[in-house]
Amino acid sequence: MSTISRDEVAHLAGLARLAVSEDELDTFAGQLDVILDSVARVGEVAADEIPPTSHAVPVTNVFRTDEVRDGLSRGEALAGAPATEENRFRVPRILNEEA
Amino acid sequence: MSSTTSVPDGPGSTELTGLAASELAAKIAAGEVSAVEVTRAHLDRIEAIEPAVHAFLHVDREAALDAARRADEQRANGTPASPLAGVPLALKDVLTTTDMPTTCGSRMLEGWTPPYDSTVAARLRDAGVVVLGKTNMDEFAMGSSTENSAFGPTRNPWDTDRIPGGSGGGSSAALAAFEAPLAIGTDTGGSIRQPAAVTGTVGVKPTYGGVSRYGLVAFSSSLDQAGPCGRTVLDAAMLHEVIAGHDPMDSTSVNAPVPKVTAAAREGADGDLRGVRVGVVREFGGEGYQQGVRDSFRTAVDTLTSLGAEVVEVSCPHFEYALGAYYLIAPSECSSNLARFDAMRYGLRVGDDGTRSTEEVMSLTREQGFGPEVKRRIMLGTYALSSGYYDAYYGQAQKVRTLITRDFEAAFGQVDVLVSPTTPTTAFRIGERVDDPMAMYRADLCTIPSNLAGNAAMSVPSGLSAEDGMPVGLQIMAPAMADDRLYRVGAAYEAARDAASEVSLLDRVPRLEVA
């Protein structure tokens, strides 16, 4: 069935923004392979005509009246931030990134 | 037959820690004992045995005693907040609290105190329930053993070399170790019921949408559900009524009356199940199940028959694909939900030395902040949602989810409740399955279908397995919003189980002593 290579694991880790060591690439490739082999059994079920279920309870959008309510204060919102500056979240550089 | 199941001779039983929550509530309400005394007794027990159990990540003695004092004042004024006012509780560390840290068992959130309370925490406070602290769990609720906690495993009070289940192993261990009479868990694939089964306690996954998810740190949003844990069915029912009910802050919250679960538990304790149709799920309980689990289940089914229930076998042919569907759907939702841990707004940040880009800081932070199981699931979900694989994996899993829901609908057309073992085996040894993810995942074989379909399910202890002396759980499943059926059948079974035994189950927990 599925064979997931080291390169694919590295690609997935990149997509998921996870730095992964060389050793971890091997471990995860082996483990993901075993898991995917097992869960791929869902493909044995004949389900072409079956509608998918994304949610157990049939929910549509839930609305409330459009009125102003208090949210978190600036101080509350910033209280857990790893770094702040001038009452804002301070982030590392985002411009001029190299690919 | 008494509607409460006390634990008269259990560990610490001459003390307040041996009593059921319903009994403590009655004593507090009658003024026989104060909430402060009850709370102090549990805090002392925690202090004495935590080194052996490690059920808690955070205990706040002063805050708990303050809450107990408020409960005592309200009672003195004739305005107790609820039937559980003054009773202590252990809260799983995945529900946000503004007065205590919320870590989800992860380095990513170490030391983080949320800016808002979960609805569950707020309702507990409003009901005068005393929160003792936050309990240990598998990181972001991913696991079946609590070994995936970044802060070390919790140990099973029945045998401290064994796991207490997961992800809510801290909550179940706190109950079995008599550190708290009540606890809150969350159940995405079995994280309330499997820990309950392997620790000899009661755990309920309410109907999806029955308890608000507001402030429940999301793992898999379409499956996550908070619920009550206790040592008796009645205790779980009383707690269920405190936390359940519609919440406008959760758009998936069901806007309907809460099922009358406490009344159902009291009615069930009379032990009459005539007219109740019970379906045994044919697909669960054969090969691959521990002999002691099978024996205990068979005895439990005989007990239900003796109480007057009409027991038939029911087939749910797609349940065998539930595990596969779950381990595609849950990781997919997890990979999306955990994208929020980006090192920018809260939580850990690693490597921000002025030279690295945002993307590099994000990747380093997630590398160091997440443990191996969380990374595995994020990558698995990322894979299942990738173009080229989406239809074969995530899309197909969603169709299987429909078929599992239809299996339940067909079954509940024939019977009122379904039963199965809660888990295929009793508690395994710490370390035994850490390097074998699929072996770990199989612990949730029987519990997953109810998460996928969103119906209600309970695990109630069915005795001890002959080969290892460890607890076994009976799973009861009911249709959505028929949670009361779980409590009626569970309480009837529990009363009959205790009547058939000279010693009540939790009296057999080894007395934990710390040198």
Task: Kindly report, residue by residue over B12-69, the tens digit of the pLDDT.
Answer: 445 899 999 999 999 999 999 999 999 999 999 999 999 999 999 999 999 999 999 9
Given pLDDT bands bounded at 50, 70 and 90, which one contains residue A2? low
Amino acid identity at A57: V
Structural domains present in chain B? 16-320+399-503 (3.90.1300.10)
**Hey, which residues 458-487 in chain B have their CB within 8 Å of chain A?**
480
Structural domains present in chain A? 1-44 (1.10.20.60)
* Number of other residues whose CB lies within 10 A of the CB of residue B388: 8
Q: Are B236 and B204 spatial neighbours (Cβ–Cβ below 8 Å)?
A: yes
> CB-based contact (8 Å) between B376 and chain A?
yes
Rounded to whole angstroms, the maximal C-alpha distance in chain A is: 58
Query: Would you tell me the crossing angle of helices B483-499 and B261-268 to the nearest 10 degrees?
Result: 30
* Number of other residues whose CB lies within 10 A of the CB of residue B81: 17
B248 interaction partners in chain A (CB closer than 8 Å): 64
- Looking at CA atoms only, how far is residue B436 from chain A in angstroms? 8
A-B Cβ pairs (cutoff 8 Å, strict): 182
Strands B417-421 and B471-478: antiparallel
Nearest alpha carbon to residue B490 among B480, B503, B471, B477 = B477
Per residue in A30-60, pLDDT (tens digit) is 999 999 999 999 999 999 999 999 998 877 7
Dist. CA B184–CA B336, nearest whole Å:
25
The pLDDT assigned to B514 comes to 63
* Number of other residues whose CB lies within 10 A of the CB of residue B98: 15
Average pLDDT score over chain B: 95
Tokens of B53: 């159990």
Per residue in B200-257, pLDDT (tens digit) is 999 999 999 999 999 999 999 999 999 999 999 999 999 999 999 999 999 999 999 9
> DSSP string of B430-450?
TTSSTT-HHHHHGGGTTTHHH
Q: Are B10 and B18 spatial neighbours (Cβ–Cβ below 8 Å)?
A: yes
Dist. CA B304–CA B491, nearest whole Å:
11
Question: Model ipTM?
Answer: 0.93
Helix (H, G, I), strand (E, B) or coil at B151: coil
Distant-in-sequence, close-in-space partners of B393: CB < 8 Å, separation ≥ 6: A39, A40, A42, B328, B383, B384
Given pLDDT bands bounded at 50, 70 and 90, which one contains residue A97? low
Cβ contact A12–B383 (<8 Å): yes
